[in-house]
Amino acid sequence: MTEHIVVVGHGMVAHRFVSTLASRWATADLTVTVIGEETDPAYDRVGLSSYVGAWDRESLHLEDARHGADPRVTVRSGHLVTAIDREAGEVELSSGERIAYDTLVLATGSRAFVPPVPGHDLPGCHVYRTLDDLDGIRAAAERAGSGSHGVVIGGGLLGLEAANAVSLLGLTPHVVERNDRLMPLQVDAGGGHVLASLIRELGIEIHLSVTGTEIAETPDGLTVRLTDDEGVTTVVDAAFVVFSAGVRPRDELARLSGLDTAERGGILTDLACRTSDPNIYAIGECAAIDGTCYGLVGPGYTSAEVAAATILSGEGEFTGADLSTKLKLLGVDMASFGDAHGVTPGCLEVVVNDPVAGTYSKLVMSDDAQTLLGGVFVGDSGPYSLLKPLVGRTLPSPDPISLISRSTGNDPGVGVEALPDEAQICSCNAVTKGDVREAICGGACDVADLKSCTRAGTSCGSCIPLLKQVLEAEGVEQSTALCEHFEQSRSELFEIVTVTGIRTFSGLIERFGHGSGCDICKPTVASILASTSSDHVLDGEQAALQDTNDHFLANIQKNGTYSVVPRMPGGEVSAEQLIVIGEIARDHDLYVKVTGGQRIDMFGARVEELPVIWKRLVDAGMESGHAYGKSLRTVKSCVGTSWCRYGQQDSVGMAVLMENRYRGLRAPHKIKMAVSGCARECAEARGKDVGVIATETGWNLYVGGNGGATPRHAQLLVGDLTDEELIRYIDRTVMFYVRTAERLQRMAPWLESLDGGIDHLREVVCDDSLDLAAELEGRMEAHVAGYVDEWSAVLDDPDKLARFVSFVNAPESPDPTVEFEEKDGRKVPVLLGSPAMPARV
């Protein structure tokens, strides 16, 4: 007799349950009906933010979401189950239809928690939970327009996801958290402080220790009044509010039908995921397994597999859950695992806090410093993948600080070889290193094969780097795919764009990729498109792909204002231009600083001021300095033979020529150049990506230098060049770099990664060993011929100018959240929520 299973809910956990049954029930006489409340079948709720921008629902659907290939499975989407008749063995739908079951599996998930603050039920308030929720937030953002503000209630994992979505929609997010730090469940006070600093630098306002929130409706949107634990009140004018303050298990069906529930909510089950009714199971976020609810996808998947095993064989048991977290939002890494808060009695904590680099690392160890108990990483989560599987094990090094530093540098430190086979590689799907090795021995030769064989990397994806390392350790050659949406590397995509003439991201991913894209491939393709044409970066579809700074052609500062950097080729500037700069700084009350690249930087401009400021600069004959882009920044110079008694060549003239030639050239990373007039090296040319030093007979060309966290001295490529030879070789070098470098790869590591290094580059550039010289020079000539100043183009285009407003409904109104103070005679920004900012009541 056929046993009929009904599954209520069709999220990721329900999908895993049905898939697990299907993989094991070859001889079982079963049928399954899945009833989902949403109109979409199971989709990737973990990747909900990727829906923003693409707005393609199907791209988020899980593989075989409707189980169309299996006649034993029926999926009914868009139906709400309103009651369970346990005596009759039936569920009732909102339509009145009744469906019989032999076994019932409740996978109703959870609902967004909305705290009962005044005004929480106003029309402008949303939750962040489903695709429909995001569509509602999108509509509200489009009505408000770019430059408006959106408030997110909740500074945990879900809150930061929602803030990311608000930012992607072109609004300034405000994150409100009742605790004294972001992500209080995952990070400690030190990590929370660094995390907040990094996120503030990205233009997201953070309000911590908020004890009171009131929301009121206004003609233009909402007013959100926030009061902190010291009684200071801040008022934010918002287009909308998003509640993302946690979830609560959806256990209402269970309560109505008389099933036992846990004291703090959730459908109470035993370790086999059986409820108080032996014919009913509960899995995922709605289940309180042995009294505990788990709000992560990993434990949810485990519960789905336990329930499937129990139904088929009676032998399933939930043995615990890994609550580790790793994410990257707006470019900020964060990870925590094990005993991240150091609650184990007698434990030791080793902390490395580098405020200059913006990183925080903590390892929690046993009292004898031998056993790893947990850790927290903010700003750089490099060690996470390798250290997390060692929880509860003896550390492979007696120096815990070296484990942190070496795991993030060139020395791999704790290698994947140090992990035992029972160490867990994928916590979402409970896949061990031994499982991965077994799959490799069985023929899996890349990450895609490992995903298919073991399910590792199919959920949050944080274990994918570790999967690659296991493949390498087993001697399997690795893929150079840019990301999960493109199998090609950046350099291969560059060639595809060049050969095919494709000029849109949608066109490229449709023909050569899959899915809707991510924060890796979108800006990478945007850079490639900009490198291969003179199209404006804010034209059409391409505008939505840009990194944060390129959205407004300016560098965003920590208080949401922008800096203005006009180009000064070679450091040259006329007296008239200096006067204009001074007048602009005075009229707009901007902070002025001379940069290390021989330019003048003006800080504190609001977004609506940018076109006004640039109109005056353009009228004075000045151009964008591209301080915001992955492109040529500056060509620094000394005064050379023009003024210096030691000068051997006209370094200023050469620097001006180079800067005017390479300005606006988009690249995988920023490019800095310098020209020194003699070997005294006053322009510090050997610390630049491209450095030129004068000799008695010409110029020496150096490449591959940089400052920063990992300084490099540039290497001599070729010496004693004429002016014409120098430019020709720079053209070839720079375009070869643009063509072949990987995403966000600076010229120094690019040169180090080349097979043959500087010798190979010399063969390509000087000897034309690859027969590319003419093509590389031609591409550079096309760039030079097609160059148009980006800000001049904006000023001539009303559609582009419309982006530069703080409030779309009041274009002339300044952002009231922007304030400054004087400190030691300098103008500095005041951040929202800081003691220096007065309350606005």
For the chain, counts of helices (H) and of strands (E): 26, 39
Name the DSSP class of 598.
Answer: S
73 domain residue, yes or no? yes
Distance, in Å, from the CA atom of 273 to the CA atom of 13, rounded to the nearest integer, reads 13
Distance, in Å, from the CA atom of 47 to the CA atom of 548, rounded to the nearest integer, reads 20
Are 12 and 52 in the same domain? yes
Residues pairing with 247 in the sheet: 112
* CB hemisphere CA count around 109 (13 angstroms): 20
Please report the DSSP string for 737-759 in residue order. HHHHPPTT--HHHHHHHSTTHHH
Beta carbons within 8 Å of 240's beta carbon, 6+ residues apart: 124, 125, 126, 137, 140, 141, 144, 150, 151, 221, 222
Sign of the C-alpha dihedral, residues 169, 524, 57, 35?
A: negative
Which structural domain, as residue segments, surrounds residue 179? Answer: 125-245
Are 288 and 252 in the same domain? yes
pLDDT of residue 747: 93
Are 287 and 138 in the same domain? no
pLDDT of residue 828: 73
Domain final residue pick, 284, 313, 342: 313
Are 614 and 533 in the same domain? no
Closest CA to 573 of 626, 644, 637, 632: 637
Closest CA to 208 of 260, 156, 252: 156
Are 211 and 134 in the same domain? yes
CATH number for the domain that contains residue 46: 3.50.50.60
CA distances from 714 to 204, 276, 672 (A): 37, 71, 12
Beta carbons within 8 Å of 435's beta carbon, 6+ residues apart: 425, 454, 456
Name the DSSP class of 192.
Answer: H
Whether 384 contacts 418, CB under 8 Å: no
Could you give the residue ranges of the DSSP H alpha helices within 169-267?
A: 189-200, 252-256
Whether 598 contacts 571, CB under 8 Å: yes
**Using one digit for the tens of pLDDT, what is the confidence trace for 630-676?**
999 999 999 888 888 888 999 999 999 999 999 999 999 999 999 99
757 domain residue, yes or no? no
Token pair in block for residue 797:
């285009």
pLDDT of residue 806: 63
Residues pairing with 431 in the sheet: 426
The CA angle 73-75-79, to the nearest 5 degrees, is 145
pLDDT of residue 708: 67
Whether 152 contacts 159, CB under 8 Å: yes
297 domain residue, yes or no? yes
Domain final residue pick, 620, 652, 675: 620
Distance, in Å, from the CA atom of 547 to the CA atom of 544, rounded to the nearest integer, reads 9
527 domain residue, yes or no? yes
Whether 137 contacts 53, CB under 8 Å: no
Are 21 and 90 in the same domain? yes
**Single-letter code of the amino acid located at 260:** D
Q: Residues of 417-449 as b/e, b for ≥16 C-beta within 10 angstroms?
A: ebbeeebbbbbbbbbbbebbbebbeeebebbeb
634 domain residue, yes or no? no
Q: How many CB atoms lie within 10 A of CB 63?
A: 10
Closest CA to 673 of 598, 723, 600, 573: 598
Are 72 and 178 in the same domain? no
pLDDT of residue 840: 33
Distance, in Å, from the CA atom of 569 to the CA atom of 625, rounded to the nearest integer, reads 9
Residues in the chain: 841
Are 150 and 197 in the same domain? yes
Domain count, the chain: 4
Beta carbons within 8 Å of 23's beta carbon, 6+ residues apart: none
Give the chain's residues under pLDDT 70. 26-27, 328-331, 397, 402, 405-415, 459-462, 478-479, 544, 546-548, 708-710, 806-818, 830-841
CATH number for the domain that contains residue 560: 3.90.480.10
Are 190 and 212 in the same domain? yes
Please report the DSSP string for 288-332 in residue order. EETTEE--SHHHHHHHHHHHHHHHHHS----------EEEEETTE
Tell whether pTM > 0.75: no
pLDDT of residue 461: 66
723 domain residue, yes or no? no
Whether 35 contacts 6, CB under 8 Å: yes
Are 296 and 220 in the same domain? no
CA distances from 414 to 419, 440, 607, 768 (A): 9, 22, 46, 42
Are 31 and 177 in the same domain? no
478 domain residue, yes or no? no
Are 536 and 608 in the same domain? no
- Gyration radius of the chain's alpha carbons: 29
Domain final residue pick, 601, 620, 639: 620
499 domain residue, yes or no? yes
Token pair in block for residue 133:
């929720």
